[in-house]
Structures are given as C-alpha cells and as structure tokens.
Amino acid sequence: MKIRTSYGFLLVLALLTSMLPSCTSNSARGEGSKHAHIAPRDSTAPYDGIDISSHQGDIDWAKVASDANIRFVYIKATEGATYQSSHYRRNVEGARRHGILVGSYHYVTSTSAIADQAHNFFMQATRHTQDLIPMLDVEERGSWSRMQLIDSVSKFADMVEKHYGRKPMIYSTIGFYNKNLAPHFNKYPLYIGRYSSAEPVVNWQGRYTVWQFTENGIIPGIDAYVDLCHYHDGGWLDEIAMVHEKGR
C-alpha cells in the first residue's frame, strides 16, 4: 500500500525525533571528566570496576576497556608523605583515554604528619584529572590509638573536601572498619573489602558504596591479579562523580 506523506508531517516527525535522548556508549562508560548521566549498575554483571597500584605493572588499557563490565578504576597515587606511584600518571591517562572513569587513592600511614600526606596526594592527584571522588585507604593503625586514627582520618578527609570540593570515599577491610572506624565515618561513601560471596555488613546501620569482593581477578590487559568490585545494588556512579567547575 502506498502512503502519501505531507511536508508538515515530516517536519513534526523531525522535531519529535530531535527531542528524544541519544543513546551512546559514553552514557554508560563516561567520556573523561565530561561523562553523561551514568546508568545504574546491572545486578547481573559479575563486577563493575577494579582498583590497582604499581603492583599490576604496565597495563594495556585498550584491552582492559574491551571488558564492558569495567566502568571505573581506582588508582593508587600516593602513600605517606613521600611515596608516589611511578605508574600513576600513565594509568590515569590510559584509562581516561579509553573511556574508563578514574578515581585516585592515598594509603594513609601513621609515620608522617597528615598535612604532609595530604600535600603529597594533592600534588599527584590533580583535580582536573579526577572523574570520581578521591579515596583514603585506611587499613592499619600503626602507632596511633583508635582515637588518634579517627582524628587523623577526619583531619585528612576535611582537607580533601576543602581541596576537591567533595567528601572522599573511605576504603578499609570490613573487619578493620567495624573495629576502628565505625560509626564515625558511616556517612561517608565506603569502599569495603570483603573477599567472600557474602556482602559486607557495616556496623551501626552503615552501608557500603563499593564492595571489593576478591583480590584474585583476571582481566585482559593486566598481567597480575587485580581487585574486583561491585557497586551497591541500584546505585548510580553519579553518586561519587566529581563536579568540575569551569576553569578548575
């Protein structure tokens, strides 16, 4: 059957089509620091992201990006007052170049002043290269008492918020967090390590944002075991996305 179409009908159709949201791969993966609204996690996905350090050596980010499950990566930048990862900057550049959202983390120690550790981190993890909020890796008390640890992490977190404009994520293993940090940091986004099929339970009605569920992940492009992570069910990566102001 032949259908006659008027010019007016075509014009209306074109206008309606232009109002529909576009669907591109960048809406799911992001595009550097200018990523679009990011879809919620797929509960059937085996993992959502990874975290790495110099222990993983040189990484082929094109191969890593071919794994559609990997939507984000947290990369170790610094530790203490002086250590800076020799792989950090090339990993940030490589991951962002291939559309993977990047966050950076600092390993907190009791061996140097918090102000010096913060300066070390700020110098390495520059604001304009961050897609996701910074993270503080807190796994040991060292020479600190529990209250000294809490005070030190609180001071560091305040400095991070002032510098980047966002509260940091706090990483810890579930046992250490519940014993030493809960409930003081329960209102922060939490990146919790628990190597198990059972998800972590945070004391005092806390909840994790990211669950690091294994340290033995195998990912094409990485010639070493890597930590694999789940984002919390129903969560949007927008929750931990950095907001970049013009000129910053």
Catalytic positions, please? 139
Strands 190-193 and 169-173, sheet pairing: parallel
d(CA 158, CA 3): 67
CB 210 within 8 A of CB 230: yes
Q: What does the DSSP 8-state code read for residue 241? A: B
d(CA 93, CA 140): 30
Please state, as a whole number, how many other Cβ atoms lie within 10 Å of the Cβ of residue 83: 17
d(CA 49, CA 101): 9
Give the number of residues written for the chain.
248
For residue 154, is it left (φ>0), alpha (ψ between -120 and 50) or beta?
alpha
d(CA 213, CA 193): 6
Task: Give residues with Cβ within 8 angstroms of 156, minimum separation 6.
Answer: 106, 108, 114, 117, 118, 136, 168
Q: Which residue has the tokens 């950095």?
A: 242
CB 170 within 8 A of CB 129: no
Q: Which residue has the tokens 């980010």?
A: 61
